[in-house]
Amino acid sequence: MSAAQKVVVARDPEVELRESGLTINHAKKTFTSAEGKEVHAIDDVSLAIHKGEFFILLGPSGCGKTTLLRSIAGLESLDAGEIYLGDQRIDPLPPYERPVNTVFQSYALFPHMTVAQNVAFGLEMEKKPKDEIAKTVQEMLDLVHLGEFGGRKPHQMSGGQQQRVALARSLAKRPKVLLLDESLSALDFKLRRQMQVELKRIQRETGITFIFVTHDQEEALSMGDRIAVFSKGRPEQVGTPEQIYNEPANRFVADFIGDINFLDAVKSGDGVITVEGVPFHVKQDISNLSDGAEICAAVRPERIELAAPDDTALQGTVETVVFMGADVRCHVRLADGTLLLVRISPPFDTSVLYQGATVSVHVEAAHMRVVER
C-alpha cells in the first residue's frame, strides 16, 4: 500500500493514526428516503480509532452511527471511502473474512442451545479442535463471570447474564475489533450501570478494540477512552470524555452532552465577553472574533456560583430550589428572561438558596465556553 493510502484525514486534529488501529478514510453512504429524498447517512467520515481503545460513537437517532458500525462489520457497503485495520483494507471483504465481531442489542442467542453451546457456535463453524473449543468457551465464560452457567439455557438467565453470554460468544473468536450496537439499552437502569463497569473491565483485560454505539451521553462519558459525537452523518467532535464535556467544539456538542446554559454575549476585548453589560473572562482563545461580535456563552450548571447581590456582577432571581440529595438544583431568572439551571454541591449557602432571592451569578474564566450563537 502506498504512503498516500495510509494518510488519515481526520476532523479532529489531535487524532493520529496508530499502528494496527482502525482507520476510516472519507467514508460515504447515501440512502433514499420513502419520500424520494437522498439521506447522507455517512457524510465523508474520516476517523482513526486506536488499537486497544474503547471508542464511542455517540449521537441522536438517525445520525449515522449505526450505519457506520454496520459498514465496519460488512453488513452495509460504502458508496465511497476505505476502511483499514492496520495495513489491511477490509471494506472490500465479506463480513466473515473480517477480524471483527458484533454484539447486537437483541443478543441473538440460540434459545435451544445451552450457554456453552452458544459461546462455542462460531468456533464450531470454523471447525476448531474440540479440546480447543472447550478451553476457549470456559475462558470466555470465566471472563464474563459466568463460569458456572455453561449448562443453562438462555431463558434461564437474566437480561444482564444474557448480555454477557452474547459478549462471551463474540469474544470467543478473538476478534481484533468488537462492535457493540446499543448493547445495553434493553437493560434496566441499575443493571445497565453494572454492565458499563463490566464492559470496561472486559475491554481492559482483553485489550481488544471496542467500538460502542449509543445515544446515551452518560454511558459514553463513563466508558469511552474517546468519543465521536455524531450529527447528520458526520462527527462534530472527537475527543476524550473530559474534552467533550468541558471543551465542546460547537453548540450542538455542548447541548447534546449533559445539562448546559446558553447566554447571549458580546466579545468586548481580549479574552473578555460581556453578558447583560457585565464582563466575564474566558480562558478560551477567541482572538479570531472581532470586538463587538455577538456570540453565545455556554456554562455547565455545576460551574455557576451564586452569592449575595453585587451591583458589579450579573444578577438574577431564584425561581425554584429543589433538593436532590447529593446536590441542590436551582433555576435563576436573569433580567433578559434567560433561565439558568444551577447545580450546587454541599455545603449550601442557605442565605441565597430560597425562592425569590436576588443573587449574583459568578463563573470562573476556565468554565465559560464560547460557541456559535
Do 264 and 129 share a domain, yes or no? no
Question: Residue 112 has which C-alpha cell?
Answer: 435451544
Q: pTM above the 0.95 mark? A: no
Q: Residue 7 — very low, low, confident or very high, per pLDDT cuts 50/70/90? A: very low
> Do 287 and 230 share a structural domain?
no
Of residues 367, 228, 211, 359, the one with CA closest to residue 298: 367
Examine the fold and report which residue of 207, 230, 251 is the final residue of a domain before the chain moves on. Answer: 251
Q: Are residues 199 and 271 in the same domain?
A: no
Answer whether residue 34 is part of any domain: yes
Q: 30 with 176, same domain?
A: yes
**Residues 271, 359: one domain?**
yes
The answer to the question of residue 6 being in a domain is no
In a domain, 1, yes or no: no
At 189 the pLDDT is: 85
**CATH classification at residue 181:** 3.40.50.300
Q: Residue 326: pLDDT above 70? A: yes
- Residues 239, 171, single domain; the answer is yes
Residue 13, pLDDT score: 35
Please check whether residue 195 is in contact with residue 121, taking contact to mean a CB–CB distance below 8 angstroms.
no
The three three-digit cell numbers of residue 74, written as one number = 460488512
pLDDT score, position 17: 45
Q: Which of 251, 276, 296 is the last residue of a domain?
A: 251
Residue 5 lies in a domain: no
Higher pLDDT, 156 or 16: 156
- Asked whether residue 308 carries a pLDDT value surpassing 70, the answer given is yes
Asked whether residue 35 falls in the same domain as residue 166, the answer is yes
Q: Are residues 280 and 236 in the same domain?
A: no
User: Would you say residue 3 lies in a domain?
Assistant: no
Q: 20 pLDDT band (50/70/90 cuts)? A: low
Q: Report the 10 Å Cβ neighbour count for 12.
A: 18
Tens digits of per-residue pLDDT, 98-129?
A: 999 999 877 889 999 999 999 999 999 999 99
Mean pLDDT score, 216-227: 96
**Residue 194 falls within a domain, yes or no?**
yes
Grid cell 457493540 — which residue? 180
Within-domain flag for 30: yes
337/361 same-domain check: yes
Query: Are 34 and 100 contained in the same domain?
Result: yes
Q: How confident is the model at residue 292, as a pLDDT?
A: 95
Q: Tell me: do 162 and 204 sit in the same domain.
A: yes
**Structural domains in the chain (count):** 2
Pairing of strands 177-181, 209-214: parallel
Q: Which domain holds residue 274?
A: 259-371
Residues 97 and 228 in one domain: yes
The dihedral through the CA atoms of 54, 59, 60, 65 has a sign that is negative
Identify whether the C-beta of residue 248 lies closer than 8 Å to the C-beta of residue 257: yes
The enclosing H or E element of 166 equals helix 159-172
3 state SS for 265-333: EEEEECCEEEECCEEEECCCCCCCCCCCCEEEEEECHHHEEEECCCCCCEEEEEEEEEECCCCEEEEEE
Going by C-alpha positions, the residue among 302, 92, 88, 73 that lies closest to residue 175 is: 73
Backbone angles phi and psi of 106, in degrees to 5: -85, -5
Please report, for the domain that includes residue 306, its CATH number.
2.40.50.140
Look at residue 159 in the predicted model and tell me its pLDDT.
Answer: 86
Residue where a domain terminates, one of 220, 251, 282: 251
Q: How much is the average pLDDT of 272-298? A: 96
Here the cell at position 55 is 471508542
Query: Minimum mean pLDDT among 5-19, 44-58, 182-196, 283-297: which range?
Result: 5-19
User: Is there a domain that residue 2 lies in?
Assistant: no
